[in-house]
Chains A and B, each alone.
Chain A
Amino acid sequence: MPLIDRRLLSYFDWTLFAIVLMLEGLGLLTVLSASYVPSAHRMDPLFVRQLIWIGVGTLLMAGAVLFDYRALVGYSYPLYVVAVLLLIGVEVIGHSSGGSRRWINLRLFKLEPSELAKIAVMFVMVRYFRLEPPPGGWGFRHLIIPFLLLGLPTALVLKQPDLGTAIVLVLITGTLLFVSGLNWRVMAALMVAGMLAAPLSWHYLKPYQRTRLVSFIDPQADPLGSGYHIIQSEIAIGGGGSWGKGFMKGTQARLNFLPEETTDFIFAVYAEEFGLAGSLLLLGLYACLVGRGLWIARHARDRFGSLLAIGITGMIFWQVAINMMMTTGMLPVVGIPLPMISYGGSSMLVTMAGMGLLISINARRHTF
């Protein structure tokens, strides 16, 4: 048997690959612009690092393409255990930045285990729900183990605190639950319970999370304080206009009015410089990516592959949706990166691995 199955190459999803490359290219440009310092006459280290992450991520993607995703059934629990252990490790030896403890310093780079948690939780959920549900769909008793599997990393992530990732974990799980056949009544009950619990959760929010919520409802209440991020982000995006201020010409980011301009708020930098045209291009690329992912889910060879495609697509989609809605002022500020655009190695590697798996699922629908 040759090292690489020929069918993998002939059924390689070039469209998806092209979308991924385009997104990464746009991301790279934006990171360059956001981190540009006029006085420095050399390549910005952030740009170079992102370039390296793209390279490593592409290798990882290639590896994932070659990898038979069905083997993940066996790897998902060990990976989950590693992710949870790393999350615990963050609590113990974590590196904090900006008021939260999210990273483990590995000298060469800083690992962000919450990014790994996204894919690990997704894997165990896909593994758990890969079997056909009983007639009538998954009932409450089937949900006990998944909820425990979700609860542990979510609690650890919330403790960092990282509300954004916790929300993404819940949404990925919810999406898989729904698609894999959750009983409608159970789903309705869960939603009602969630809505009832929402006011209660106020008590469990950190003060800064509460002020974010308040300032989301009324950003002008404290424009230089907690409402600052939303206001400045909207100014950047709105100031971009139809065609943008031009590459490297966005004043909001360059003059440091924008917070977190290379990570969570990178979309504001992008939208300011490239305008509505650029924003819609980016949104369109994501829509193609999500659409392609859903197509692969529908055409996958088996239920596991189909659910895995849903999980990966959901992971990308929810991050994109929350990030864009947050930067455009439709949601409160929660820290979530924009996949393939935001600077960050862990997020890049996890996303690229997911893309590789998607391609793998697609290629393998023709093999037996």
Chain B
Amino acid sequence: MAKFRPKKKRLPVPKLEPRIAVISALMLTVMAVVAARLYYLQVIKNPEFSQLADRNRIRIRRLPAPRGLVFDSRHRPLVNSRPSFNAVFVPEDSDNLSQTIEKLQKLLGDDDIAGKVADAEHNGRAPYEPITVDENLDWQQVVALETHQLDLPGVGLEITPARHYLYGDLAAHLLGYVGEVSRNDLLRLSSYRMGDEIGKFGLERGWEPYLRGNPGGEEIEVDAVGRRLRVLREIPDQPGESVVLTLDLDVQEAAEQAMQGKNGALVAMDPNTGYIIAMVSHPAFDPNTFVGGITPTNWHKLITDPEHPLEDRVIQGIYPPGSTFKLVDSVAGMEEHTLTPETIYNCPGGMWYGGREYHCWRKGGHGRIALHRAIVSSCDVYFYNVGLHLGIDRLAHWAHLMGLGRRTGIALHGESAGIMPSSAWKKRTYHQPWYPAETLSVAIGQGYVAVTPIQMVQVVSEIANGGIRYKPQFVRYVEGLDGHIIKAYPPVVEARLHIDPDYLETIRDAMAGVVNSPWGTAHRVHLDNVTVCAKTGTAQVIGAGKAGVRSGEPEGEIPVKYRDHGWLVAFAPEDHPQIAVACVIEHGGHGGSSAGPVVHDVLQKFFQLYPPNAPRLVGEPETADMAAR
């Protein structure tokens, strides 16, 4: 073949042939390297790059599930979720940003939309990510936005489920409230994302795993600038499960009504199960104000309110039990055999002990009386003697058994244990021995002893039910979306106290006398068709003594903050108790006159709904069985 003209003789003149071979080898090598690189990228690294490609193009938008409903014991809704209309704004879609924002502010009557947009940008909003500029729009605002749609490029409406408390502040402390998940919660809970709603307080907090449901979502395909192109996949949300309470809406409403204008707490419980029938803490708050984020002003108002509306007084309020503690004295005395129903002490209106006179509330005294009369008339001197014969430690032992000085374990956050002093307690706390004189104060529910209303309702329930300490519960069962019971809460027996039934009968009989006998202190809770048993108490406010206020002075002359707290604990009917109540009215003065009318209204309502001789709906064994199924 004639190629170029090789001049073989003139070596080493380079010929083309070998150099073409070199260049061929070079080119082949480069191509082989490229092929190897392609194999590396497309085969070895493929899983990684596939994922990156998907992450590039897919954005996940979470759609919160409507939270579960909350029903009362008769399946009437207390809390539900309703659609909330929110205004959302995509700045990229607006041709004139400041003009659109200005129009939007005017239409919504909100001057801070520009600020919210700036905040969102500051917090690193992704392009085309909508900003929620206003939540919970009212009907007029929605209509205004709809009709001005054309003037508001980039503005849209978004509908999200919002928590709605149907009765406002009714049972607010028990129901609780929701709020945006906090940074700390996010670290703890992997299934939550920034901006999610979470139960913050009360039932909403405790039953969060059931109520929350599973948020749905949309996988949205976006382009390189983040513009939404289409929805790839929709994951439907799963609404939360419903919670059925043991609360009775009617009784709760009656209690709220009766507590109107008063500060304090009321709790009503079925003594046979521990199920809470009504639970009120006043002053209260409206959980609806927390929905969609509470405004800083409202929050400030709530936490700086001197009356502490956020405090759940039923479980967190600690008060001296006053004369209601005499029920504990009686149980302890008889069980320790230092007291019998026939034991007689003389009350001349006071007694000397340790060089000091201890008064009876009745200056004239009660004379020589036995236990029944001592409870009915709430004689202080009688119970000073009971306390002295018992000694603080035996008294503390029984008080502790009955649930004082310890948390009841109710499923609410922040419960207080109260204080039930003993000599060991004093040694531990003050490094001082117990002085017998201090027992006198404790015996009439003063001094170191401090209790919560939920503990007192437990004490009175034990007397009513024959000595069983039930754990207070307010959830009957959790109900799935199909109406199926997912989790039931059968009664929980915390302790069986093994108190002699005769002793309890004696106390119950005396408590009936408190309401019905002429010497009684709680005539205000009398019902015509039901025998109500009760015990009043008047708890001195700490500091009142120092301020020169003496118990028994006419109430009108004492400044409100030094007035006594009024207690009343009760159960009814006497023979087969269906309801136990504890009520404390702060600075209400005497328990019979302050707490009495409140408890009266609650009991009256309860027995209207559940007549004493008719089959009961609450706490009925067969319904409890049903719940356990």
Contacts and interface: CB of A to CB of B under 8 A. Distances in A.
B483 to A, nearest CB: 44
A260 to B, nearest CB: 13
Interface in B330-358: none
Interface size class of B (residues with CB under 8 A): 35 or more
A271 B42 CA distance: 9
A24 interface: no
Contact of B57 (A234, A257, A329): A257
Contacts of A175: 23
Given A283-B35, A283-B38, A306 B14 contact: no
A147 B33 CA distance: 30
Given A241-B42, A279-B42, A299 B37 contact: no
B46 A256 contact: no
B56 A252 contact: yes
A328 B4 contact: no
Contacts of B42: 237-238, 240-242, 271, 275-276, 279
Contact of A178 (B19, B24, B28, B49): B19
Given A179-B19, A241-B43, A235 B52 contact: yes
B53 interface: yes
Given A239-B50, A306-B4, A255 B43 contact: no
A21 interface: no
A300 interface: yes
Interface string A292-325: 0010011111110011001000100100010011
A306 B34 contact: no
B224 A251 contact: no
Contacts of B221: 251, 255
B188 interface: no
A74 interface: no
A239 B46 contact: yes
Given A235-B49, A239-B50, A303 B16 contact: yes
A26 to B, nearest CB: 15
Contacts of A272: 53
Contact of B13 (A181, A251, A301, A321): A181
A240 B23 CA distance: 32
B1 to A, nearest CB: 7
Nearest to A258: B224
Nearest to B17: A298
Interface stretch (A111-119, A128-136, A189-197): A128-136
Nearest to A304: B4
Contacts of A297: 16, 20
B52 to A, nearest CB: 5
Contact of B41 (A237, A294, A302, A317): A237
Listed from nearest, the 6 A-B pairs whose CB atoms lie closest are A238-B49, A181-B14, A239-B53, A303-B4, A276-B42, A256-B224
Interface residues of A, number: 57
B568 to A, nearest CB: 70
Contacts of B103: none
Contacts of B52: 235, 238-239
Contacts of B498: none
B223 A255 contact: yes
B57 to A, nearest CB: 5
A286 interface: yes
Nearest to A180: B16
B150 interface: no
A283 B12 contact: no
A339 B2 CA distance: 32
A280 interface: yes
Given A255-B229, A317-B27, A301 B2 contact: yes
A328 B34 contact: yes
Contact of B38 (A178, A180, A280, A291): A280
Contacts of B2: 301, 365
Contact of A235 (B12, B33, B56, B223): B56
A132 B20 contact: no
A137 interface: yes
Q: Give the interface centre of B23, B42, B229 by most chain A CB atoms within 10 Å.
A: B42
B65 to A, nearest CB: 30
B56 A276 contact: no
B225 interface: yes
14 contacts: A135-B12, A178-B19, A181-B14, A235-B56, A237-B49, A238-B41, A238-B46, A280-B35, A298-B16, A306-B4, A310-B16, A310-B23, A325-B30, A330-B33
A291 B43 CA distance: 27
Nearest to B223: A255
Given A235-B56, A280-B38, A306 B16 contact: yes
Nearest to B46: A241
A157 interface: no
A362 to B, nearest CB: 13
A22 interface: no
A180 to B, nearest CB: 7
A279 B20 contact: no
A289 B607 CA distance: 100
A300 B3 contact: yes
A236 interface: yes
A347 to B, nearest CB: 20
A119 B13 CA distance: 28
B557 interface: no
Contact of B4 (A271, A279, A300, A329): A300
Interface string A220-240: 000000000000101111111
Contact of A238 (B10, B45, B229): B45
A23 interface: no
Contacts of A329: 41
Contacts of B50: 238-239, 241
Nearest to A317: B27
Contacts of A291: 24
A121 interface: no
Contacts of A257: 56-57, 223-224
A255 B224 contact: yes
Nearest to B221: A255
B48 interface: yes
